[in-house]
Homo-oligomer: A and B are copies of this chain.
Amino acid sequence: MGLDLGDLVTKLGKATSDYQSVVSINLFVALLCACIVIGHLLEENRWMNESITALLIGLCSGVVILLTTQGKSSHVLVFSEDLFFIYLLPPIIFNAGFQVKKKQFFRNFMTIVLFGAVGTLISFVIISLGAIGLFNKLDIGALEIGDYLAIGAIFSATDSVCTLQVLNQEETPLLYSLVFGEGVVNDATSVVLFNAIQNFDLVHTDALVLLKFVGNFLYLFATSTFLGAFAGLLSAYIIKKLYFGRHSTDREVALMILMAYLSYMLAELLDLSGILTVFFCGIVMSHYTWHNVTESSRITTKHAFATLSFIAEIFLFLYVGMDALDIEKWKFVSNSPGKSISLSAILLGLVLVGRAAFVFPLSLLSNLSKKSPNEKITFRQQVIIWWAGLMRGAVSIALAYNKFTRSGHTQQPSNAIMITSTITVVLFSTMVFGLLTKPLIRFLLPRRHLTRDLSMNSDPPSPKSFLASLLENEQGSGEGTGQNITRPTSLRMLLTAPARSVHHYWRKFDDAIMRPVFGGRGFVPVVPGSPTEATSNAWH
């Protein structure tokens, strides 16, 4: 963690590095607590959400620190890519995979990949071309073709974290799985794109090189997914074979956390996409491993992963909010504020257009392939998908920092202006678009639409007894097994979707081969003295 407290510390009297980090950690943890409490108090507010609260608190503390240090520094921790990609992103994405409603996700898998991969490419091309066409009128300094392509990749990365908080999985499961699933694939796509551009020979581009590029992308996608699934299955197998719960719940939970993290880091080590890997690891773990552990471990993992992800999200927004006021970056811009504003406006416009350019056509394409009218994406839903994916966040900032601070450390005017514009776009889109999303959903999809959209049994928002929620989790989380056919919801699904043959064969395969080996709902063998015996006695 890079620490940069500078004057604040000197003023406080001591200047050792230990002392600096202790002060920073104290401040940061205290602010995190404040964010949680204030976010909780504002829960009822129809405009606010946790990320906006954290961003605002970050901005406010940035101002306070700026005033305290007489304009020298505005943040407690310098934004570091490592901190973001190594510590904050993995728990968020893993938890997303772990908690995602798998039925919805896999039913819409093709649409999600279409939006996430093809859509991001369309958005990337439009933003890059738009930047090339519009930036030269602004005279912001020398930008190369590689810079323009990087800008395309940076602003194609939607902020899935913020989107998660704006949409509600219970109220709008279809929209949630589409927008959020797209967000994960999109993050992965834009990071892969960005890295490819960095290592790409941009002078000698021909069809073969482009084909290689596409092939490489598909290879990355496949291997990353495979690695994640493999790590998940390995954890399921180990825990099932060794009956970890016999000795301790904590070992099971520790092993799940560590294996998930290992899959992410291994993907990063092998230059794959850690985001995709850890996402699929989460899905596989919730499908197999989660059913092999003791009941306490199930509750613990569900909530502990959500808590870790929650803390990482709040941390991130606080961090971005605080870092946004970093005075050094704004020094160069203060000479020409108009230029920075028009640049940000152009980028925001390109983001709006770039997203519209793929959401509506691709929705049409997706609707053509669906037979049942229930599954088609209505125009109102398309508008929400378009809108909910407009937010730009930490991935954009991390990529922008990577591109525009490494060479020359914001000393070059064109680099400095790109950084400040990225921050402006992120702040504006998160605050304004984010604030408007809740009312927009309420306006476009009134309550009766929301309930019609509910196609799975979901947790009602009211509090209820612990046992009831556990039982519901039991039913809601796994994919339906043979026993579930008797349940009306599953029956309805089978009736309304008889043609989903891929899913049907997968289920057969899952029941016949995967579950007996790796465990999973209803397929954990009862071994005397193992935790599953207790499970069976308790529930059946």
- Interface residues, chain A, with chain B CB atoms under 8 Å away: 18, 21-23, 25-26, 29-30, 32-33, 36-37, 39-41, 43, 82, 86, 238, 242, 244-247, 249-251, 253-255, 257-259, 261-262, 265-266, 268-269, 294-297, 299-300, 302-304, 306-307, 310-311, 314, 462-467, 469-470, 529-531, 533-535, 537-538
Contacts and interface: CB of A to CB of B under 8 A. Distances in A.
A530 B314 CA distance: 25
Given A37-B238, A295-B466, A306 B250 contact: yes
A265 B25 contact: yes
A291 to B, nearest CB: 14
Contacts of A462: 529
A255 B43 contact: no
Given A40-B247, A249-B303, 9 more contacts: A254-B311, A295-B465, A296-B303, A297-B303, A300-B304, A303-B304, A464-B534, A466-B534, A466-B538
Contacts of A534: 463-466
Contacts of A465: 295, 534-535, 537-538
A223 B282 CA distance: 44
A469 B296 contact: yes
Contact of A26 (B245, B250, B266, B294): B266
Contacts of A258: 29, 32-33, 36, 311
Given A242-B40, A269-B26, A534-B464, A250 B296 contact: no
Contacts of A466: 294-296, 534-535, 538
B304 A307 contact: yes
Nearest to A465: B538
Nearest to A32: B258
Contact of A33 (B86, B255, B268, B464): B255
11 contacts: A21-B86, A22-B86, A29-B258, A36-B254, A37-B242, A249-B306, A250-B307, A251-B310, A304-B304, A463-B534, A465-B535
Contacts of A297: 303
Contacts of A33: 255, 258-259, 262
A464 B265 CA distance: 36
Contacts of A254: 36, 307, 310-311, 314
At the interface, is chain A mostly helix, strand, loop or mixed?
Answer: helix
Given A299-B300, A466-B294, A251 B26 contact: no
A467 B43 CA distance: 32
A334 B123 CA distance: 64
Contacts of A244: 40
Contacts of A23: 269
B41 A242 contact: yes
A30 to B, nearest CB: 6
A295 B469 CA distance: 10
Contacts of A245: 463
A530 B467 contact: no
B32 A250 contact: no
Contact of A533 (B43, B253, B463): B463
Contact of A262 (B30, B41, B299): B30
Contacts of A247: 40, 43
Given A36-B251, A538-B465, A300 B307 contact: yes
A443 to B, nearest CB: 24
A29 B255 CA distance: 10
B463 A246 contact: yes
Contacts of A296: 299, 302-303, 466, 469-470
A463 B37 contact: no
A239 to B, nearest CB: 10
A246 B460 CA distance: 12
B463 A530 contact: yes
A462 B533 CA distance: 12
Given A463-B533, A531-B463, A534-B464, A253 B303 contact: yes
A29 B261 contact: yes
A467 B299 CA distance: 12
Contacts of A250: 303, 306-307, 310
A18 B82 contact: yes
Contacts of A238: 37
A37 B311 contact: no
Contacts of A32: 258
A29 B311 contact: no
A121 B255 CA distance: 40
A301 to B, nearest CB: 9
A114 B531 CA distance: 42
Nearest to A39: B251
Nearest to A23: B269
Contacts of A43: 247
A30 B465 CA distance: 39
A95 to B, nearest CB: 10
Nearest to A467: B538
Contacts of A531: 463
Nearest to A469: B296
